[in-house]
Amino acid sequence: MELNYHEALTRPILAAHGFGLGAQAVVIAGNWATDIWTLGPLASTAQGRAVSRFHFLNLSTPEEIAAQWIWLEAHAAQTLAQLPSTYIALRELGQMLHCVQDFYAHTNWVELNLAAGATTVPLWEEGPVAGVSLDGLLSAYYPDRAAPRREVEHHRLHKDHPWCAAGPKTFDAALDAAHRATELWLPRFVRHMPTPMRAQVSRLPRFMYESFVLASVGWIDRLGLPRWIGGGPAPWSNPTSSL
Ligand SMILES: [Zn+2]
């Protein structure tokens, strides 16, 4: 899913859960960084490889897809309880929300349920509608080339934007499901954060956001990418304008 959609999904839900602008910005930056670390030369670094798990890509069987959800919950419990700083915990939270959202963009869960007559695509946790067999569940392969195992090439399966191969209606259904999934998972993740850290999210200072954006602009320049890559309100070009 493109970065502006990730942001549009995430920001209002964070606000509804009491995250102030500083904390929202770090979560969004962590969410975006999940994609940025997967691009170009950064993908082959140790951190790039570690972050690549958070897209629901390159999973070959329905069992691997199910296992990724279990891993995500365990990862949240393990990391959010132990991280030394609120800043790092919020960045991790952004990555985990990215993962929840990308399930609906990078697997054929949405298509399977729509084809079986779903008017609203169920969340993974609710199970598929009647008539859907999980044996048919597939994930996309990235980088975008012929998939080595049972996955589907990324460009054929993704619902990253409305002009994807699946079409705008399927994209809308994926976005809607990702929105409900974010509402479900945000409190599930946050409850793993220590109480003092949870108390900070409403009043985290803005300077954290600005230093994160400046670091991120450095990665984007190194990759030779245009700074508008973030989409949405484009904080890359003016870190303070959107706050
Ligand atoms: Zn992604």
Q: What is d(CA 210, CA 196) in angstroms, rounded to the nearest whole number? A: 23
Question: In the prediction, which pLDDT does 219 show?
Answer: 62
Question: In the prediction, which pLDDT does 175 show?
Answer: 96
Its sign, for the CA torsion 44, 223, 90, 52, is negative
Residue 33: other Cβ atoms inside 10 A = 23
Mind listing the pLDDT tens digit for each residue in 12-21? 999 999 999 8
Q: For residue 243, what is the DSSP state? A: -
**Ion ligand 1 — residues with CB < 5 Å:** 35, 55, 102
Question: In the prediction, which pLDDT does 190 show?
Answer: 96
* Structure-token pair, residue 179: 């929105």
Residue type, 25: A
63 CA from centroid of ligand 1 (Å): 20
Question: In the prediction, which pLDDT does 231 show?
Answer: 37
8 CA from centroid of ligand 1 (Å): 14
Which residue in 13, 189, 193 sits closest to 86, CA to CA? Answer: 193
14 CA from centroid of ligand 1 (Å): 19
34 CA from centroid of ligand 1 (Å): 6
Rg (CA), the chain: 17
Question: In the prediction, which pLDDT does 214 show?
Answer: 58
Q: For residue 167, what is the DSSP state? A: -
68 CA from centroid of ligand 1 (Å): 14
6 CA from centroid of ligand 1 (Å): 9
Question: In the prediction, which pLDDT does 62 show?
Answer: 94
Question: In the prediction, which pLDDT does 49 show?
Answer: 75
Pick out the chain residues at pLDDT < 50.
Answer: 228-243
